[in-house]
Structure 1
């Protein structure tokens, strides 16, 4: 007999941006929702992005050149979603100025016109108007820029965000609306009646046992792993994914100004590259290489060489491999296009399909459009499964966890307090928003106000908060996905591991064998690929 605790309206498989977005949309419409994630939330593609909320400058150029309405509409929709995220999660999302350096006179009107169209597509939701910047001013704003032959720059605005923390924030917001979200729970099989899916069998890695859950609808939102779940349903189904890898490298923050990034408009293979300030580093990316699906994809040497080669075409201060503080690779969940094998040319629109056994698959898309993808998915399944929502979609208006009551006044009030120095307070505010006070409370009550590392503003209380409030179950959940430490400074993450393991062990009551095994696993991942 099915227990009430195992019966749901909707089960979502996958705890990245898309899966958590679907769980939020479903729960906020009144559906009893369960989300299952094989590893940690944002442990895949969703924590390995370029950290930009954007419409896609490259897609707009392609849309205009080829009169492609599909790409045009994708850019326009993405710009609207960019605006909504900055409005509804202001502690994690903000606008950023981007310079495009140009070394030929004819490029200036071409790029300026294109970016002006980009602005116009935003309508009233624009973040600022594009403008031409002189060589002198460009060098002042971006001192490391190559000066020889520079004619000028075009400056435009896009959105920047903290992807890993945004993923956790979406999960916490879904929880606020009643969703149940479980990480480290791997779906092993589907439960079927008369050939139709009625539930799932999943393995709880923490409790080390198999469990069952039942639902009217099961949604596959596993990104690059989409075909793996589809084949669990039907081993003979045709694969629909064409995965590609995109790597990023982190170097010292001195390579980029604090509040401005660089867009390299065209590489040797027709891509764009971004050089961006990120936390206390500068990140550079990305590449586009065909890839195999892997939980921990490794950056290839030729991808690293590609980035360094292109950076050094635009920098006077040369970057070498010795300057790299961290490197990571993410997998793009691209839907196959029968007319091309070139992953760089595939449109990043989303794809929804229902199998013969009623498995719903949502895939494709990009970070910026996760909310729209979720809305379209729930809109699609309501009539198909004859579901009865309690209300319409409200995710356009939802203020995300940590942004309730967040504004400049709140921020300034905290900064004027004497809880910690301004560096620590700024770090807490931009990562936790209005939940900063909960971390301060833990720090004061439990004497956990010390820094995790002397050179970083992260404090010990954040580890406890991550365990108690943000689903952290293992040390790397904190070092890689609740903070950006491993992505910006891998050696510092390794130095912080011992202290982090000790706090996890004490809070979760691990025995010595468990503690040693967890530490060994974490060291291997940090040494191989995060």
Structure 2
């Protein structure tokens, strides 16, 4: 797959890979298990201060917080306040002292997900110095391929949006490494997002413009401890260094660290063969069991216990949210036990569905909202609000807008006369009643004629990919737009296009042989 010209050699090295959302959650849950009080969806309104009786200086002694879901505000008092807010570092520092200058220089890094066939299962590619000095990689991730990245100065926001030019930059870079017979298409992008790197300068350094390569720990005159910069790889040493600074600055008591060698939530009972017990004890699909074991560790059994019976011979339990991914409905129920409050939490912060395929995530949303609504006693208005918020999140922040615009951005159909006739004829093989549109009933009827069975929910998902106006049916013009986008490489993985082509070929093979062609025999 790689280009061979100008290829003179490479090295193989080994690295780790983790599920950052699950890791973040596991740390919080482990802290709670050891006595910490944790608060989800809570923001700092301002810092609380009091005058130190000895020095006469104001010292930070807590924070006024707001529950962003209910709007309620409350005070949290503490001997020490630690600012560990990533790209929002300077917001807290300026609450402490309005004269503080910014130390965070936020940088946007865009990543895209493309089909798994762009990388082997256990090997990726990384070039640490491209022609323009950037880093480019494409790596296997969750049976897909993740590619990136960009490094662009950006404003700090809680809702970063991937830019189309950044998506195309990554695609062009990927093309530079692959042989010409591998066509990397814009339609291959299944999801795209922008993350904000909290690059920092050291406020204690003489060179205040120089970016710190790792992280910095700073204690302000009022006692606010700030930890900024850094990366996942060194998160525990960063935490240890921060707590050492807090203990020293505030004369806090404490013994030896309890977290050296501490196993995080779910890790205690995990074994490489744990998934086999899930299959044997609960009747889960093998792929689903492997996913649960890798995602939840020993807690996978709790997820399996919440799974409902499928009503099928196999699997016995574990209804999938979407047919092509191993996420099951009981994960939504379990996510609520893990402090999930919104549908966005489920698709982006408890599972990775939104990062793997925005269209699949969009298709799963109605069922996710239904399950959460029942468990959390949501009103119809609240359910609608959650559904719309999650769709907006996928559309703006996870690349669904960019993906859908490949199909809907222009009404121009760039098919020649023969192609229009060919695809119109294919369409009419499904639209037997000449309605001008097809539904799941039409597709199901054709599939039955060629002895093909497909799950009804999966069929709805397939048609929904092409149903631009979301009226539950696919019009001829929508189908022609799809085939035009496929031709231009803007869409590459349309299941409807593949399904209709395969069905047409099967129907043609079953066409009756005329008497004159058969020689007139009986």
TM-score norm. by structure 1 comes to 0.69
The one of 62, 78, 87 aligned to 1:224:
87
Shift of 1:271: 2.6
Distance in 2 (alpha carbons) for counterparts of 1:492 and 1:244: 29
| 2:272 is aligned with 1:403 | no
Give the direction of change, closer, same or farther, for the CA distance of 1:192–1:418 in structure 2 (3 Å limit). Answer: closer
Shift of 1:280: 2.8
| 2:231 is aligned with 1:366 | yes
Q: Is the CA contact 2:83–2:89 (under 8 Å) kept in the aligned structure 1?
A: yes
| 2:119 is aligned with 1:256 | yes
Match of 2:349? 481
Match of 2:361? 493
Q: Deviations over 1:480-513 (max 9, x none)?
A: 1111111110111111111111111111111122
SS at match of 1:260: coil
The one of 180, 194, 198 aligned to 1:333:
198
Q: Is the CA contact 1:249–1:324 (under 8 Å) kept in the aligned structure 2?
A: yes
Shift of 1:471: 1.0
Give the direction of change, closer, same or farther, for the CA distance of 1:409–1:450 in structure 2 (3 Å limit). Answer: closer
Shift of 1:336: 2.5
Matches within 5 A, 1:105-504: 144-194=1-51, 195-316=58-179, 317-336=182-201, 346-389=211-254, 391-417=255-281, 419-444=283-308, 449-468=318-337, 470-504=338-372
Shift of 1:417: 4.4
SS at match of 2:120: coil
Distance in 2 (alpha carbons) for counterparts of 1:226 and 1:255: 37
Match of 2:391? 523
Distance in 2 (alpha carbons) for counterparts of 1:227 and 1:305: 32
Distance in 1 (alpha carbons) for counterparts of 2:61 and 2:224: 10
Distance in 2 (alpha carbons) for counterparts of 1:320 and 1:339: 44
SS at match of 1:258: coil
Q: Is the CA contact 1:348–1:366 (under 8 Å) kept in the aligned structure 2?
A: no
SS at match of 1:504: helix
Distance in 1 (alpha carbons) for counterparts of 2:259 and 2:310: 37
Shift of 1:318: 2.8
Bigger relative contact order, structure 1 or 2 (CA pairs below 8 A, ≥6 apart): 1
Q: Which has the higher strand share?
A: 1
Q: Deviations over 1:132-164 (max 9, x none)?
A: xxxxxxxxxxxx222334334321111111111
Q: Deviations over 1:282-332 (max 9, x none)?
A: 000111111110111112233222211211110121322211000011111
Q: Deviations over 1:33-76 (max 9, x none)?
A: xxxxxxxxxxxxxxxxxxxxxxxxxxxxxxxxxxxxxxxxxxxx
Q: Which runs of 5 or more structure 1 residues have no equivalent in the other structure?
A: 1-143
Aligned length: 382
Shift of 1:385: 0.6
Give the direction of change, closer, same or farther, for the CA distance of 1:241–1:460 in structure 2 (3 Å limit). Answer: same
Match of 1:6? none
Distance in 2 (alpha carbons) for counterparts of 1:387 and 1:368: 27
Q: Which runs of 5 or more structure 2 residues have no equivalent in the other structure?
A: 52-57, 312-316, 399-522
TM-score norm. by structure 2 comes to 0.70
Shift of 1:340: 8.7
Give the direction of change, closer, same or farther, for the CA distance of 1:394–1:298 in structure 2 (3 Å limit). Answer: same
Shift of 1:409: 4.3
Q: Deviations over 1:378-417 (max 9, x none)?
A: 011112111111x311323101111102222434443554
Shift of 1:208: 2.6
Distance in 2 (alpha carbons) for counterparts of 1:280 and 1:476: 22
Distance in 1 (alpha carbons) for counterparts of 2:282 and 2:373: 31
Q: Is the CA contact 2:219–2:249 (under 8 Å) kept in the aligned structure 1?
A: no
Q: Is the CA contact 2:106–2:153 (under 8 Å) kept in the aligned structure 1?
A: yes
